[in-house]
Structure 1
Amino acid sequence: MYLTQGLQRSLQQTPDKIVTIFGARRRTFREFGERVARLAGALRGLGMVPGDRVSMLALNSDRYLEYMQGTWWGGGVLNPVNIRWAVPEIVYSLDDCNTRFLLVDDYFLPMVEGIRAQSRNAPMFIYAGEKSAPQGMLDYETLLAKAEPIEDAGRGGEDIACIMYTGGTTGFPKGVIQTHLNLWSACIQRMAEIHQGAEQRDLHVMPLFHIAGLARVVSGFIAGGSHVIQPTFDAAAVLKAVTEEGVTDAILVPTMILGLLAHPEFDKYNLSSLQRLTYGASPTAGEMIEQVLAKLPHLQLSHSYGLTEACPIVSTNPPENHGPAARKSGLIRSVGRAGLGVNVKIVDEEGVEVPRGTVGEIIVRGPNIMVGYWNKPEETAKALRHGWLFTGDGAYMDEQGYLFIVDRLKDMIVSGGENVYSAEVENIIARHPAVLMCAVIGVPHEQWGEAVHAVVVRKPGVEVAAEDLRSYCREYIAGYKCPKSVEFREALPLTGAGKILKRELREPFWAGKSKAVN
């Protein structure tokens, strides 16, 4: 159970198969494996020892996949950098786990001097772009050309594979420690439920610093498939890649899917090769699923729920639960059942399992669960208790074991003494034919303590009034859950993984107050 085993297997069995497609650049497993072994040799030559942390600050590319496999091949540990962060946040993550090397592409070169100046122990900078290396940085391609390929270090099992910083939207980020066993188990568990084989061509448009993108790459190498890599999400580029490269599989967040569906030339592209689409990371509108299946009826849709601490999969709602019956029964709103090898319970504040249908906190146990947070024993002790990961996500479980997420518990709104779970309100608003995206937050209210407030992005060229949306909600949910106020925006603030930054939406309403709830 080591994360270079899939590459070893493909080098043995299919060395001349194309493994990476990035723009016009294509590499076979033989070429890719040679570069990985040379990168490992170069890092070792620069002083890397087993367990050293190696970071990359870059958009998606074929070099990003080389960085992943090359670091593991040399015995190192990944610390991929969140590309949405400012310099101080990046420096915190690098210093926190004493990162030795930082690979940087062309896009992020302007941040190098700031990182160098602010770092407590500045890493060794390696330029991994398409031009010549700037002064003060080593050149990636030169290092590879001069290095001797080395044998795979063969680290695996309980050895640390990755430290992924998360939770940066509030306070300091936490470094999630993931072992080779954690990541390998998570990928195998999902592959046992949702097909992934050597014949597949996986589209990578999710940012690779994020666990969803990184884990998808890992499972692709385990299966021996090919990787079609896009630097970042661009609807036209994604449609073109699927058409021209024969992409068979993709993972996207709903904001990306909506962007594809809204593209004016969507119908001009041949997307028949696309067989499976996984979505997740934010509340999903039933209308979106209807649109996808109307345009691509052959597509197998699956919805995954997880978090970085679970590497990431906790549950999956498979393709068979996306048909008309599931959409009518409401099963489509579920995030599925616990994955193979994963135990899930819903518990109260005391950690006691609650009856089915009762809202509580999701806790998870399995070989995919992190070993803790780097240098944060107190945070680790809060999250990992009695062998279980306490997720902080509020949900209920039905009699068949299906999970229904109602919110992050911290996002719960208390209005007039009643609990309102924002995800429930968002799911209703998102059904309205004029709504493209929405977010629901709690804002201060003198009488009720907190009031439900909706922030809505309308579909292009479509008008809808605030009162229309409130009336629409009243058709489906109790009056106290309906938005007391609605504001319209052109866009919502998003993280690099496509999640809505509710903290940024809340801040103006709670500015100057000693706490963010009433």
Structure 2
Amino acid sequence: MTDPIQFTVPAAADAVAAVIGDREFIIQGDRRFTYAQIVERSNRLAAYLHSRGLGCHTERHQLAGHEVGQDLLGIYAHNRPEYVEGMLGAWRARVAPFNVNYRYVKSELQYLLSDAGASALLYHAAFAPRLAEVLADLPGLEVLIQIADESGNELLPGAVDYESIVAEGPATAPPVQPSPDDLYVLYTGGTTGMPKGVLWRQHDIFVASFGGRSLYTGELATTYEEIAARCTDSPGTTLMVLPPLMHGAAQWAVFTAMNTGQSVVFSPVTSHLDVDDVVATIEREKVLAVTVVGDAMARPLADAFERTTADLSSLAVVANGGAQLTPTAKQRLIDAKPNLMVVDGVGSSETGA
């Protein structure tokens, strides 16, 4: 009897893109990327990280449970395609990505990047001024990749423009083989003390929260071919992710969507929750499901549902995770959109979904 397969996220992405490469994966306003395009762009990022000497330097079986033998890439960014590409590209280069809370002030940002021992940072230009304030205290942070945005901020000294990497670099993945032992690192928010990095083996988070189990039966996938077949059989439904990707619940939703063949929609408004834009996007993209975190998102969404005249007939599910919904907020959503299913998920950084 053979041992059960151990999954990696990049291999799953390859398997999915091989069968539904032309299907749209990430949609944000007029920016639309297929599965094949996201994989290609992430490969280019992986090749760049590898060219800078980043990767895995000590295999997991040689380390204690709390130790990290890989370089770490912080992702200090809003919800945009680059965030997803950053995570996939890091894993493909055997670099461990981790989330950076973009609401942190100077001291919090310095603490987080120092605690992680980050070798590299992928960040939106809007955050360049705050990052510049802490760089002198982070001598190990040697690779800076800046994503251009509406802020118009210039590249920091030594930084490389992200689009120049993913649009023009080599599309061949680096000559390293990702391992199921490679890490997924998720930093807690620090609401119960200082932020801490939770270390997951890639296979374990794949099974726990990235769609490695059937959403309906809980049965474990056993092969990449099974993941691919599931995506081929999927009608290509659309999921709108409202929480920021610096939140684990949003990351889990995106990668579960990837491994079930769905299209993921982000609002083009990234500075705040614009529920009127959310409603317009649901109508335009025929969104089937929306993810939220707690009453802070559900209540404004209910307000928008109650006042809109938009066609929301495609919307069947509001999925909540990360913070429990109150019965009042849940009922308002249901009353505003008859036949809507409101699903409460549970989980944590340490346990998964």
Q: Does 1:308 align with 2:349?
A: yes
Taking the TM superposition and a 5 Å limit, the aligned residue runs for 1:462-481 are none
The one-letter amino acid of 2:104's match is W
Aligned-partner Cα distance in 1 for 2:310–2:298: 15
Instruction: Give the CA deviation at 1:216.
Output: 0.8
The one-letter amino acid of 1:147's match is G
Which TM-score applies when normalising by structure 2? 0.81
Corresponding residue for residue 98 of structure 1: 117
User: Which piece of structure 1 moves more, 251-260 or 286-295?
Assistant: 286-295
Taking the TM superposition and a 5 Å limit, the aligned residue runs for 1:94-493 are 94-130=113-149, 133-136=154-157, 137-151=159-173, 153-160=176-183, 162-187=184-209, 188-189=212-213, 191-193=215-217, 197=234, 199-230=236-267, 231=270, 232-253=272-293, 254-263=295-304, 266-311=307-352, 313=353
Runs of 4+ more than 6 Å apart = none
The one-letter amino acid of 2:275's match is A
Instruction: Give the CA deviation at 1:2.
Output: 0.8
The one-letter amino acid of 2:144's match is F
Instruction: Give the CA deviation at 1:157.
Output: 2.2
Q: Does 1:65 align with 2:88?
A: no
Q: Check whether the contact 2:71–2:118 (CA below 8 A) recurs between aligned residues.
A: yes
Aligned-partner Cα distance in 2 for 1:278–1:138: 37
Higher relative contact order (CA 8 A, sep 6+): 2
Corresponding residue for residue 38 of structure 1: 44
Aligned-partner Cα distance in 1 for 2:126–2:156: 16
Instruction: Give the CA deviation at 1:60.
Output: 0.6
Aligned-partner Cα distance in 1 for 2:177–2:238: 27
Which TM-score applies when normalising by structure 1? 0.56
Q: Check whether the contact 2:48–2:169 (CA below 8 A) recurs between aligned residues.
A: yes
Instruction: Give the CA deviation at 1:62.
Output: 0.8
Aligned-partner Cα distance in 1 for 2:285–2:179: 33
Task: Identify if the C-alpha distance between structure 1 residues 277 and 42 changes in structure 2 by more than 3 Å, giving closer, same or farther.
Answer: same
Highest Rg: 1 or 2? Answer: 1
Deviations 1:17-36 (A, max 9, x none): 11111121111222222111
SS in 1 for 2:135: helix
Task: Identify if the C-alpha distance between structure 1 residues 151 and 271 changes in structure 2 by more than 3 Å, giving closer, same or farther.
Answer: same
Task: Identify if the C-alpha distance between structure 1 residues 177 and 201 changes in structure 2 by more than 3 Å, giving closer, same or farther.
Answer: same
The one-letter amino acid of 2:292's match is L
Q: Check whether the contact 2:237–2:262 (CA below 8 A) recurs between aligned residues.
A: yes
Aligned-partner Cα distance in 1 for 2:325–2:17: 40
Instruction: Give the CA deviation at 1:133.
Output: 4.6
Instruction: Give the CA deviation at 1:285.
Output: 2.3
SS in 2 for 1:49: coil
Corresponding residue for residue 55 of structure 2: 49
Instruction: Give the CA deviation at 1:132.
Output: 7.3
Task: Identify if the C-alpha distance between structure 1 residues 97 and 264 changes in structure 2 by more than 3 Å, giving closer, same or farther.
Answer: closer
Give the root-mean-square deviation of aligned CA atoms.
2.3
How many percent identity over aligned positions? 24
Corresponding residue for residue 65 of structure 2: none
Q: Check whether the contact 1:35–1:144 (CA below 8 A) recurs between aligned residues.
A: yes
Structure 1 or 2: larger strand share?
1
Q: Check whether the contact 1:80–1:164 (CA below 8 A) recurs between aligned residues.
A: yes
SS in 1 for 2:346: strand
User: Which piece of structure 1 moves more, 264-273 or 59-68?
Assistant: 264-273
Aligned-partner Cα distance in 1 for 2:117–2:201: 18
Corresponding residue for residue 499 of structure 1: none
Instruction: Give the CA deviation at 1:261.
Output: 1.6
Task: Identify if the C-alpha distance between structure 1 residues 132 and 31 changes in structure 2 by more than 3 Å, giving closer, same or farther.
Answer: farther
SS in 2 for 1:306: coil
Aligned-partner Cα distance in 1 for 2:126–2:138: 20
Instruction: Give the CA deviation at 1:37.
Output: 0.9
Q: Check whether the contact 1:6–1:224 (CA below 8 A) recurs between aligned residues.
A: no
Aligned-partner Cα distance in 2 for 1:146–1:283: 44
Aligned-partner Cα distance in 2 for 1:224–1:156: 23
